[in-house]
Structure 1
Amino acid sequence: MEPRYRLRVYLLTALVLFGFGALLTRLYDFQINKREFYKGQVPGNRQITVREPGIRGTIKDRNGIELARNRRNYEVSFNLEEIHSAYRLQRDQDPTVDVETSDKGMPRVGTETDIVAIVKERVISPLGKLGLLRDFNAEAMRVHYKTHGGLVPFTYTTDLDYDQFAKFAEHSLEIPGVYLNVRPQREYPYKALSCHTLGFLRQWSKGDIPEDAARKYGYQYVGDDRGVAGVEATLDDMLRGPEGWKQIVKSEKGKILGEVLVDAVDPGVGAEVTLTIDAEIQYLVSNALRRAGTAAGVVMDVRTGEILAMASVPDYDPNDFIPSITQAKKDEYDHNPHHPLIDRSISTFSPGSTFKVPTAIVGAIRGFAHRSYNCNGYVPYGNTKVRCWIAKKGGAHGGLPLPKAIQVSCNPYFMQLANAIGPKDMADGFRMLGFGEKTGIPVPGEDGGTVIGSREWQRKNPNERPTPVNMAFAAIGQGNSLASPLQLCAMVSCVANGGRYYRPRLVKRAVDRNGTPLIEDTPSLKVDLLKEGLKPADLELIREGMRMAVNVPGGTASRVKVPGYVVAAKTGTAQAEQAGSYQRHNAWTMAFAPYDEPRYAVVVMVREGKSGGAVAGPLVHLILRGLLSRDEGMKLPLHPLDPVPGALEAIEEIPLPEDVLAAIDATEADGETGDEAAEAATAAGIVNPNPKLSEPPVLPQPTIKPEADAEGTVTPRNNRSRDR
């Protein structure tokens, strides 16, 4: 064959092969890659897959009482893309609405499909004839359609009872794009009880939708609500149940013909979480704290480190956030100056003389338990005198052993002891007792606090070294010292049980739907002080001092006394911050009981309490009295709690029952005021030794329920929808 003909054959062959390759490529694209798309364009029945979110696990107290559970929620949602498609089957053009756009920074007016007008014609009008109208937010619907199209359903209403839902179900098949669902909705049956520990949920948002959702589910994707506060947040992965899905058969006109259940997968249930919290004790503590304006309280089992109650006031109702919070309610919480969303039981405050107990423990470990110090009414540091609270009466305690110093809460004793111990040993000892670091309980927002020489103190004061005055302030819980009620309660539990510091436990156990343990019910021992050099006899001196503070005349904690029982306690009053010319105070009392066989440790902190003994002491008494009475067989009450807004007014005293007042000795000591360190600091030229209350932390933002606008108001009823 001649060369010129051979070349032509080669070119023709190449063209044929190229043409077949292009044809095969396009065929593969149509038949494989876009098969589902073109299949959906063919008139006839088709199946679509709908995702169903998992069922969230329950949260129970230690006795099986449900604190967070799910209830049946009847929901009506719209697939806006399906409604639009059904409209176009009968109309050549869409209604439009003017919208503002921007072109190179210049505002312009354009048009877009008016999905609200389409929904009103295709859906709202038929629903009106059935008497099933609800108000909705038209602007939210437009934004939802532009954002999600038909992938994410627009929730029309959840404000349905069973009869209304049944009526919807009877006629929904006649209206394309309308879906009815029965989904679990979170519920907190005891309202504000343990709200800070439980937390709340936030609806899933656009950012929670995975990239492959459109390919996998095609039409409807319903995400999982997410925990953003409390245990709901920290254990969110455990509590979320596995997703499910179902296939729905639809006609070419978008009408639902039925469900194919053969391939359906039911959503799974998340883990069941059991807290160490005892709901009855939680109710007892919460009610006691309501006698004060702003306060926190913790109760622990000294034998295991389990937290039996952890409460803070003011508080909130987590049901307000489910499924979404109204703007009015959110403003109410946000504008409350007492910040009800903050959990004060894990926030840190100036601890005052409660820090004399850990100072005594560290001193005993270092061999100072049997040393006496003299109180002349003050301790001089250069030209500065840090006085004892008794000096305001013109007195002095004289020579004191350790138990007596704890009983009368003598400032000079512990200031001299701290300087004898030294900065490094004080810092190491306090860290061993859990101060200056987080306890690690599974609740977001816990503050680790500050103690002299700690990492946090060094971070805030990089160029400073502890001075004798700093050490004196640290020993009496002033200056830069900060601790939380939970930290102090864990420390008191250690004193009560003989020197074993258990890490505080909030979650008792968690099991998945198959019964497999996810969190074991096992106490966690952080340190045994007896193995760190603390002698049992020396620890008994500290315990004896706390017993004397309650039961021996002249003690500062006599108002904690419970008739028929021996209780040990220590009070504290700290100057917390300067508010103009006015000094704010924290009133503390920590206690354990019964003395010989301890079971409970209790700590109460009251903001703006003028005296630890007269303000926090009576609250600890009420809590211990309830606990010990229950041990004798009395049934403690348990009811839903409405939230309280809180207050921050000076409290001079919280009254006690007459029988308790009669048992209190008339020689009860007044105790520290918290002003002594501030006076000394002023004289020494130290600026603001008492830390000002820090700004409230950034709190998780809930989903806000959009109000019905004028355009979406279709009935006099003031029902509102929410946009997922």
Structure 2
Amino acid sequence: MIKENSIIRKTDVINRRMFIIGAAKFIVFAGIVARLFSLQINENKKYLTLSDKNRIREWKLPPTRGDIVDYFGNVIAGNLKVYQLHIIPEQIENFNYLISRLKALLELSDKKIENIIKTKKKIKPWESIIVSENLSWSQFLKINNYLYDLVGVKPVMTISRNYPFNDMYTHVLGYVSQPNEEEILNNDIVAERFVPGMKIGKLNLEKRLENYLIGTNPIQRYEVNAYGKRINQLEFQKGEQGSRVRLTLDTEIQKSCAKLLNNRAGSISVMDIFTGDIIAMYSSPSYNPNLFLFGISNDEWELIRNNPLKPLINKSLSGLYSPGSTIKPIVALSALENNVVDTNFKVKCTGKMELYGQTFHCWKEKGHGVVSLKNAMKQSCDTYFYEVARLLGVDRLNVTAEKFGLGKKVLGDYFEIEKSGLFPNTKWKKNNLGKGWVLGETLITGIGQGYIQTTPLQLCLMTAQIANGGYPIKPKIVVNNNPLSIEEAKNLMLEEAQKNPNKKLFKNEKNIKIIQETMFSSTNERFGTSYRSRIDDPKYQFAGKTGTAQVKRISKRERELDLDIEQIPYKDRDHALYVAYGPYVNPRYALSIIVEHGGSGSRTAAPIAKELFKLIIDRHELRNQQSNFEEISI
């Protein structure tokens, strides 16, 4: 009996233990099932995404920049296909053999080979090394013909920036190149879209409009193995090209400017006197921005940098020059506006003027005789303007000059390199030089010499605002949405001036007309300084003012020698200037021309205007009727 009870108790213990174990197994199994259900059903998307991240990788490619076009839609900064050569180290069987073969096929320099070896040490084995960014077609064919012997080599076709007009627009557009660390950090959009091989604007409009031009990255998606090596391309997502930007410039006129300057140091600027559109802005000499796309050679860089004519300087915006006699219309206008002189005021010119023991010479040694305002402007009599400046004073002259754009940036929003220039007054000299103004400085300021410094574009703006009747305009080089025709812009300008008298740059409209008439006589009447460059046809007839700016003080001996320009050392020759607007009846365009060390404005600069105005006027109707494109708003 005792033995039987013992067996029963043992059986109960075993049954309880089996039940506990079974229950535990059930709980564990239920937990596993629940967890599996949670992982595979409830959190399916989460772990699928994590899995894909381990299995799938994205590679961003360099974005395609937007095109820059001229007013008529001609591409002046675009993109073209280029052929590159990449190598993938992990696929190379014998690296030294491959490098020696590429060196022979492509004629690579020892320095280039050294850079490839250094790059190989820095990157992962499956990452590409760019051997050449710009293979010629013949080189590309040669590589493809020898691919059987070049294991690990990958010929690639991609997109790069291109400037089809070479040096024609360099000082307007700038160029692109690979960004440095500071440029990446300072621009959030560049930082977000940066990939090796991407190029950004380094200068001028390419830099200023970077955020509009940059585009979005194309994306390649690849399946990779556990080591990160690409196995298979799954998808290619095309990026969006950057915005297209339309400029106000006319390529045909820009070409003509380059041809007329003919590699002489100087600048030509052309402006619409109502809309403020910059029609042409050419600085000479220039350089080819395509040289910078794939890294300029030391020899090419030294040729550009050491050129005595300074092709790196944008003379239209950064060149500072004494305006010479081109300032005389503003001097005369200021004197008329301040009731200092009138059209009957006369001065006797004997060829020089004495003041406190100092002699101020007129350009004509024997003088012009008795001259009025019209004859003084026509013959550019210095003595007359010495006297007018003396009576006017530099402070009142400064007010008028600044109204018409002198001493201020014209396109400062677009170009970091633009300089303000200087139109001095008594306060400026005291604050900056710590000295008081003297009367002799007023006299030479009245003929555009002394402290005064202007850019060619400022002189163009000054002339444009004289030509349009004395109304302010805001120059621009990028076409905004819905651009106005010239007639619409003119009417709007006049309407605003009627509503707001402060929109006028003059006190008496009659004074502006007097200046316009004197500029006409300077070009179109006998004895005018630019009479030989006149055009009799009213369609092309223009009014202008010559200028000759000294670059050094002329000694008494040099004045007595009276040397021809060819006998004077190049750097000692005067700068030649000319400002003009046309056609004289119903004017539409203004221009400024400067030829560094070109001698006299009448001899060198004015004939350029004669050739240029014919083209400008002939293209007016084409411009005015040009249909709109899609443009950006800046």
TM band (smaller chain):
0.7 to 0.9
1:556 corresponds to which residue?
529
**Residue 69 of structure 2 contacts residue 246 of structure 2 at CA under 8 Å; is this kept in 1?**
yes
Q: 1:454 to 1:204 in 2, by over 3 A?
A: farther
1 CA distance for matches of 2:339 and 2:457?
28
- For residues 668-679 of structure 1, what are the structure 2 equivalents within 5 Å? none
**Residue 185 of structure 1 contacts residue 323 of structure 1 at CA under 8 Å; is this kept in 2?**
no
Local SS of the residue matching 2:574: strand
2 CA distance for matches of 1:359 and 1:488?
14
Q: 1:257 to 1:282 in 2, by over 3 A?
A: same
Deviation at 1:289, TM superposition (A): 1.1
State whether structure 2 residue 209 is matched by structure 1 residue 235: yes
Local SS of the residue matching 1:622: helix
**Residue 588 of structure 1 contacts residue 606 of structure 1 at CA under 8 Å; is this kept in 2?**
yes
Higher RCO, Cα 8 Å, sep 6+: 1
2:374 corresponds to which residue?
403
Local SS of the residue matching 2:300: helix
State whether structure 2 residue 390 is matched by structure 1 residue 419: yes
1:159 to 102, 113, 135: 135
2:245 to 259, 273, 279: 273
State whether structure 2 residue 507 is matched by structure 1 residue 534: yes
1:362 corresponds to which residue?
334
1:182 to 120, 145, 157: 157
**Residue 328 of structure 2 contacts residue 446 of structure 2 at CA under 8 Å; is this kept in 1?**
yes
Deviations 1:488-545 (A, max 9, x none): 011111111111131221111379xxxxxxxxx9899799787344312111110010
Deviation at 1:591, TM superposition (A): 0.9
2:219 corresponds to which residue?
245
Deviations 1:75-102 (A, max 9, x none): 23345xxx2x668xx9xxxxxxxxxxxx
2 CA distance for matches of 1:455 and 1:283?
43
Deviation at 1:438, TM superposition (A): 1.2
2:609 corresponds to which residue?
620
The structure in which a higher percent of residues are helix is: 2
Normalised to the residue count of structure 2, the TM-score between the two structures is 0.75
Q: 1:289 to 1:429 in 2, by over 3 A?
A: same
Counterpart AA for 1:270: G
2 CA distance for matches of 1:579 and 1:399?
25
Deviation at 1:421, TM superposition (A): 2.5
Deviates more, 1:337-346 or 1:440-449: 440-449
CA RMSD of aligned residues (A): 3.9
Deviation at 1:588, TM superposition (A): 0.8
- For residues 572-591 of structure 1, what are the structure 2 equivalents within 5 Å? 572-577=547-552, 583-591=572-580
2 CA distance for matches of 1:560 and 1:151?
68
Counterpart AA for 2:475: P
2:422 corresponds to which residue?
450
1:598 corresponds to which residue?
587
Deviations 1:645-677 (A, max 9, x none): xxxxxxxxxxxxxxxxxxxxxxxxxxxxxxxxx
1:10 corresponds to which residue?
none
1:570 corresponds to which residue?
545
Q: 1:544 to 1:127 in 2, by over 3 A?
A: closer
State whether structure 2 residue 597 is matched by structure 1 residue 608: yes
Counterpart AA for 1:71: L
**Residue 174 of structure 2 contacts residue 289 of structure 2 at CA under 8 Å; is this kept in 1?**
yes
Structure 2 alignment gaps of length 5 or more:
1-46, 483-487, 559-568, 624-634
2 CA distance for matches of 1:510 and 1:189?
26
2 CA distance for matches of 1:625 and 1:285?
12
* Percent of pairs with identical residues: 26
Q: 1:163 to 1:359 in 2, by over 3 A?
A: same
**Residue 364 of structure 1 contacts residue 534 of structure 1 at CA under 8 Å; is this kept in 2?**
no
Local SS of the residue matching 1:435: coil
Deviations 1:148-178 (A, max 9, x none): 66798531123053994797599699956x5
Deviates more, 1:46-55 or 1:484-493: 46-55
Q: 1:411 to 1:209 in 2, by over 3 A?
A: closer
Structure 1 alignment gaps of length 5 or more:
1-34, 91-117, 512-520, 635-724
The structure in which a higher percent of residues are strand is: 1
1 CA distance for matches of 2:241 and 2:411?
27
1:197 corresponds to which residue?
172
1:301 corresponds to which residue?
272
State whether structure 2 residue 465 is matched by structure 1 residue 494: yes
**Residue 204 of structure 1 contacts residue 223 of structure 1 at CA under 8 Å; is this kept in 2?**
no
**Residue 58 of structure 1 contacts residue 273 of structure 1 at CA under 8 Å; is this kept in 2?**
yes
1 CA distance for matches of 2:348 and 2:506?
28
2 CA distance for matches of 1:552 and 1:437?
33
**Residue 471 of structure 2 contacts residue 504 of structure 2 at CA under 8 Å; is this kept in 1?**
no
Q: 1:76 to 1:247 in 2, by over 3 A?
A: farther
2 CA distance for matches of 1:584 and 1:351?
15
Local SS of the residue matching 1:489: helix
Counterpart AA for 1:49: E
Local SS of the residue matching 2:550: strand
**Residue 102 of structure 2 contacts residue 108 of structure 2 at CA under 8 Å; is this kept in 1?**
no
Normalised to the residue count of structure 1, the TM-score between the two structures is 0.66
Counterpart AA for 2:164: P
Deviates more, 1:471-480 or 1:248-257: 248-257
1:54 corresponds to which residue?
63
2 CA distance for matches of 1:39 and 1:134?
46
Counterpart AA for 1:189: P
